[in-house]
Amino acid sequence: MANADLNQQSPAPLADVADYYTDTLNRHGPSARGVDWNGEESQNLRFTQLARLINTSAADAFSVNDLGCGYGALLNFLIAQYPAVRYQGYDISAKMIEAAQTRHASAGAARFFHASKPGQRADYSFASGIFNVRLDHPDSEWRDHVLQTLDVLDRSSSRGFAFNCLTSYSDSGKMRPYLYYADPCDLFAHCKRAYARDVALLHDYGLYEFTLLVRKTL
């Protein structure tokens, strides 16, 4: 298995989360259910929101970091629209990375790493679903983890980054204690203050979540 240049192992606080996703993969295989989504339709709907960050023309080459890549579904989504994309996926579950490497063995411009941080800068970084499952970690600890990870995404992206979170505006009867529901306005304000003037909050695509696009000025 290939390793990223930086931070080659899951930090201890995420070992339980890595085990959670290894278990979903073992039960459902490399599929939307295997990364704990309800299905492919919503998985792709999330990718559509994240990809709104990209303002490079389809024919041009650009690089992408996919933090929490799972089995690499975002790679398929991107290649269909941007055949020249150079993609690097990172995941804290070693089994996910094995599944991604097997699935994309012939994708020459893609590499996968067992890591909790990108090892290299890319034009764009994406993170879909990495903040949702917090298990027993308390709210304040998990919010700190989210903000630290956003700092990492910021440092490892030259044109910008995008991520999604479950929303605190979810119906209370459907909320689960092992999941983290972020306040979209809190994270929007944080991204504006800490990272970029151009930040878009997308909270209109029909899932109990939101996406933030952070565009950097070149």
Q: Where are the beta strands (DSSP E) in the chain?
A: 63-67, 86-91, 110-114, 122-127, 157-167, 181-182, 198-202, 209-215
Contact between 47 and 98 under an 8 Å Cβ cutoff? The reply is no
Closest CB to ligand SAM among 14 and 213? 14
Scan residues 70-129 and list those touching ligand SAM (CB under 6 A). Answer: 70, 73, 90-93, 96, 116, 128-129
Closest CB to ligand SAM among 110 and 130? 130
Select from 16, 23, 36, 154 the one that contacts ligand SAM (CB under 6 A): 36
16 touches ligand SAM (CB under 6 A): no
The distance of Cα 106 from the centroid of its chain, to the nearest Å, equals 23
35 touches ligand SAM (CB under 6 A): yes
DSSP state of 92: S
Among 10-18, 51-59, 101-109, 173-181, which window interacts with ligand SAM (CB under 6 A)? 10-18
CA dihedral of 117, 121, 122, 124, whole degrees rounded to 10: 60
Among 13-21, 97-105, 135-143, 177-185, which window interacts with ligand SAM (CB under 6 A)? 13-21
Closest CA to 202 of 48, 64, 32: 48
Q: At what angle do helices 40-50 and 73-81 cross, to 10 degrees?
A: 60
Binding residues for ligand SAM (CB under 6 A): 14, 17-18, 21, 35-36, 43, 67-70, 73, 90-93, 96, 116, 128-130, 132, 149
